[in-house]
Structure formats: C-alpha cells, structure tokens
C-alpha cells in the first residue's frame, strides 16, 4: 500500500480551489457535495465555471492566487497553470495544508480517488496516480455491483447502534450481531425498499436473549490451495474475512493472509521436516484454547486439510471437546500444481488411475505398497517426497516400474516463483540434487508427464486442456 486511504470531514470547513477551467469544475462540485465552505480563486474562469459558482453558496475571487487565500483552509486543490500550481504547492507545504494538484500526483501531498457515492457509504479507489482511467473503470464496475440503497441501509444501522450497545454489553457479540444483520432478511428488505416494518423487527432482534449470552467459538478447517490466492474458494474467502483468529501453516503465503480481516489475530504454526514451530498436539491445544474463548477460528492449511494435512486429527480433537467444526476443502497440490504445469493426472491413452502418496512417513521415509504403485498405467503424485526421492525411485524400479518412466518435479507450484524440471524415474534423486529442489515440491511420476515435458515452451496449459477433452 503506497498511501493511506482516509476520509476527511469537510462539513462546514474551508476548502480552497485554485483554477477556473474544465479541470476545476468537477473538483468544485465534489467539494461542495462533501459539505465544504468553498473558496474559489481563478484568474480567468471560463463561462461554465463562473455560471456554476453564481448559483452556489461559494466565494469567487477572479484574480491570481495569493498566499493569504490559504488562511483557514483545511485542504487546497490546484487546477490552474503550471506556474500558479507550483506557487500553491509551495505556499500550502509551508503552512502544512494538504494540497492536491489535478493530474500531477508528484506535486500532491494527497490524491483524489475515484468515488462511488451511496450517501453514508462511500467507496474510494486509487491507483496512486499511475492509472486514473483504470480507477474510473473500477468505479464504473462497482457502481453496477453495489445496491443503490446502501446509504439508507447504513443510515438505518446508525439509528440502532445506541440501542444495541445498551442491550448487548459484549463488543464481540455486538460485532457478530451486525454481521448477522447485514447478511439477514431485514437488510435485504431495506435494500429492496421494503422497510415499513424494519424498525419493529430490528428492536425484536436486538432484544433477543441469544445476543446476551457469551459468544460461542467455532473452528473452520480451510484449505488454502497450492499457493495462488486466486485459487481460494469463495467460502474460504468469506470465512477468512469473518475470522477473529487465523492459525496458519508454512505453505500459506502472505498474499493469502492479506485476505483475512486486518484485526484478526494470526498464529503461525508452520512445520517442515525436522523443524516444527509447534507439534501437532500443541496446534490442537491452540485451536481448543481460541475456540473455547468464544472466538471464530480459521485453521488455514496449504492445499486441502484432509489430504496429508492432518485435518482429521484436528477435527477429532475439537469434536471430542464439543467445539463446532466446519470443513472447507481446498485445491490440493496434486491437482493444482499438475494443472499449472500442464500435466493431466489421468489420460485415456496413458493413465487410468492416479494415487496421491506421501513421501514422508511417521518415522521418516514411507512404507508403501510398492508393487501396487508400480503399475505402468498409473500416475503417482508424491507429496513431501524431496528427501525420500532416492528410495521412491529405487523401490518403484525394483517392483517393476520402467526406469525410463518420465517424472516432473514442481517446486512452489502455482506461485510466481514456480519451477518445474523433468527427468526419468531412474534419475529422480540426481535431478532433485542437481536442480537444488527445495520443499514445497510435488513429484509426478507417469507417462502423463511426457505430455508436458515435450510441449513447446508456454504451451503446456493449452496441451493439458486438449488432453483432458
């Protein structure tokens, strides 16, 4: 974030606008709409500007800018000639008055956003001056999406804030009341203009006994996908934005955490082979502690919570203690990373089955049914297999898998720093060592890999789609 978005109260405050041409008139209208006492200075205002000012409760001085024009001004906007604009900036800076120069962000101490106005609800959009046309396009999109009666809805809520505070003392319970209200039938009716009985219904809701009880906690086990935040499910996004506590692991990047509520507590419990910040038992106790304190907790796991994520152990522990649990699947690494690498996990000509395998057992390398996994028409997607790659290769070949079976190793799949390398089952360990592959990485073994390995650079996604049809 390059600048801090804030909203400035200009009701009854003096705002200075220097300039009187086509660029100045929209700013004058905006300042008046914000309730400012508007002081206009323009050496040569055009007819449209002069006509507008004549019909408004504003003062217009038809002369060049003078330093004294800043007396008492809360903000100033300059939309005059370059020389006059620079004089305004110099004088405003000396007096520490915020100044904006129209279309000159490098001279401005604050930027004017594109605005969606719904009375009490105002949305401001900024590109930090880099792309004003883009900001206007975003505004147009939001104008179409946001209900016209958002302002009356917000005003209705404001009228009942005091009544709710008097009836419900716990601030967490009050916040949850408002979250339920804006998702509920009263708000929907208000947005539709059907508000005749809204006041009586609101008082009934406020006085319902449930809001006086201590808030109950709950846990949502949420799959964060392979890393790309755009692969989050809509449900995962909603729960993140409602969470009071987010407990997250090593595979969850900051881009995904940015979708959580800004005031949510974040607890890192990342684990890597041989380097655990918290044991599984400690993670279970953290979830119990936070939910037991009445908080809404999101346990955020890379991939899918129930695919090598130990989500089942956490659910079992929580349910045993009477904690409400919700499970939200995520795109697991095998499907997500293989897709972005252009590898179809099954294919009519090459693979009629796919198996997800953990390359890490409870005591290190896994003890697997190697004979069953060695079938030639069988894709293997190996999680956490970097350290055990030599054993994987050796055991599969010993149980009949062709040593020349193609393999792909996908490091940090779906992320901007994604790297994929190709080789054969015989050379899997050497490939990982030579390429200095580090976890997290997914290993895909099977003839389907050949489809991506032999594709032209940049064509793997198209090839995977065609192969799946």
Helix axes 311-320, 280-292, angle to 10 degrees: 40
Q: Is the pLDDT of residue 8 over 60?
A: yes
- Strand pairing category for 378-383 and 441-445: antiparallel
Domain ranges of the chain: 14-112, 150-212, 218-331, 334-468
d(CA 435, CA 432): 5
d(CA 197, CA 186): 9
Residue of 348, 411, 432, 345 lying closest to 381 (CA atoms): 345
Q: Is the pLDDT of residue 3 over 90?
A: no
CA distances in angstroms from 194 to 184, 191, 343, 427, listed in the order given: 14, 8, 53, 70
3-class SS shares of the chain: helix, strand, coil, % to 5: 40, 20, 40
d(CA 224, CA 235): 11
The mean pLDDT of the chain is 90
Q: Is the pLDDT of residue 468 over 60?
A: no
Over range 135-164, report the average pLDDT.
93
3-state class (DSSP) for residue 150? helix
Task: Fold for 218-331, please state it.
Answer: Cobalt-precorrin-4 Transmethylase; domain 1 (3.40.1010)
The model's pLDDT over 199-208, given as tens digits with 9 standing for 90+, comes to 999 999 999 8
Concatenated DSSP letters of 381-407: EEES-STTHHHHHHHHHHTT--TT-EE
**pLDDT number for residue 301:** 94
Confidence band of 464 (pLDDT split at 50, 70, 90): very low
pTM exceeding 0.75:
no
Place of tokens 């955490």: 257
Which range is least confidently modeled, 157-171, 209-223, 267-281?
267-281
The model's pLDDT over 245-269, given as tens digits with 9 standing for 90+, comes to 999 998 898 899 999 988 899 999 9
**pLDDT number for residue 431:** 95
Query: What is the CATH number that goes with domain 14-112?
Result: 3.40.50.720
Place of tokens 């799946």: 468
- Residue pair 94/108 in contact (Cβ under 8 Å)? The answer is no
- Residue pair 342/236 in contact (Cβ under 8 Å)? The answer is no
**pLDDT number for residue 272:** 62
Tokens of 74: 């809360």
Residue of 200, 207, 194, 227 lying closest to 301 (CA atoms): 227
CA dihedral 362, 387, 305, 376 (to 10 degrees): -100
**pLDDT number for residue 467:** 39
- Residue pair 40/64 in contact (Cβ under 8 Å)? The answer is no
Over range 17-38, report the average pLDDT.
95
d(CA 160, CA 204): 12
Over range 11-23, report the average pLDDT.
96
Q: Is the pLDDT of residue 349 over 60?
A: yes
Q: Which residues are catalytic?
A: 249, 271
Over range 209-221, report the average pLDDT.
86
3-state class (DSSP) for residue 248? strand
Peptide bond into 440 cis (omega under 30): yes
Taking residue 138's Cβ as centre, other Cβ atoms within 10 Å add up to 17
Tokens of 180: 């339920």
- Report the sign of the C-alpha dihedral through residues 310, 314, 320, 324, in that order: negative
Select from 3.40.50.720, 3.30.950.10, 3.30.70.3270, 3.40.50.450 the CATH code of 334-468: 3.30.950.10
- Strand pairing category for 406-411 and 441-445: antiparallel
Over range 99-122, report the average pLDDT.
92
Confidence band of 365 (pLDDT split at 50, 70, 90): low
CA angle 105, 29, 66 (to 5 degrees): 65
- Strand pairing category for 114-118 and 121-125: antiparallel
């Amino acid at each position: 974030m390059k600048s801090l978005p804030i909203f400035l109260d200009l009701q009854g405050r003096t705002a200075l606008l220097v300039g009187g041409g086509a660029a100045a008139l929209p700013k004058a209208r905006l300042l008046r709409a914000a309730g400012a006492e508007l002081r206009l200075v323009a050496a040569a205002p055009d007819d449209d500007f002069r006509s507008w000012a004549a019909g408004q409760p504003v003062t217009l001085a038809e002369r060049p800018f003078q330093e004294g024009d800043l007396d008492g001004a809360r903000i100033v906007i300059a939309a005059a000639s370059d020389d006059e604009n620079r004089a305004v900036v110099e004088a405003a800076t000396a007096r520490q008055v915020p100044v904006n120069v129209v279309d000159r962000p490098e001279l401005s101490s604050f930027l004017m956003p594109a605005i969606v106005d719904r009375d009490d609800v105002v949305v401001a959009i900024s590109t930090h001056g880099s792309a004003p046309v883009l900001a206007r396009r975003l505004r147009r999109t939001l104008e179409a999406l946001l209900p016209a009666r958002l302002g009356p809805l917000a005003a209705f809520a404001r009228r009942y804030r005091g009544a709710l505070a008097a009836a419900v003392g716990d601030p967490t319970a009050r916040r949850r009341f408002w979250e339920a209200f804006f998702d509920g039938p009263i708000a929907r009716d208000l947005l539709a203009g059907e508000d005749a009985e809204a006041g009586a219904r609101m008082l009934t809701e406020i006085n319902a006994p449930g809001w006086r009880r201590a808030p109950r906690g709950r846990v949502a086990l949420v799959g964060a996908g392979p890393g790309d935040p755009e692969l989050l499910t809509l449900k995962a996004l909603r729960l993140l934005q409602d969470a009071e506590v987010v407990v997250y692991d090593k595979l969850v990047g900051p881009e995904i955490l940015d979708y959580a509520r800004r005031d949510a507590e974040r607890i890192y419990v990342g684990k890597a082979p041989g380097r655990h910040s918290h044991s599984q038992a400690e993670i279970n106790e953290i979830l119990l502690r936070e939910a037991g304190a009445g908080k809404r907790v999101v346990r955020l796991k890379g991939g899918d919570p129930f695919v090598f994520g130990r989500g089942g152990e956490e659910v079992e522990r929580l349910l045993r203690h009477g904690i409400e649990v919700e499970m939200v699947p995520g795109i697991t690494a095998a499907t997500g990373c293989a897709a972005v690498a252009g590898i179809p996990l099954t294919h009519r000509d090459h693979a009629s089955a796919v198996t997800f395998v953990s390359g890490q057992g409870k005591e290190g390398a896994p003890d697997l049914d190697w004979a069953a996994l060695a079938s030639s028409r069988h894709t293997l997607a190996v999680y956490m297999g970097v350290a055990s790659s030599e054993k994987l290769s050796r055991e599969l070949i010993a149980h009949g898998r062709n040593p020349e079976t193609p393999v792909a190793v996908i490091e940090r799949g779906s992320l901007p720093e994604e790297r994929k390398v190709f080789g054969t089952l015989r050379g899997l360990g050497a490939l990982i060592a030579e390429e200095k592959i580090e976890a997290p990485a997914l290993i895909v073994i099977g003839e389907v890999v050949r489809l991506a390995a032999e594709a032209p650079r940049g064509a793997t996604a198209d090839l995977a789609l065609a192969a799946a049809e």
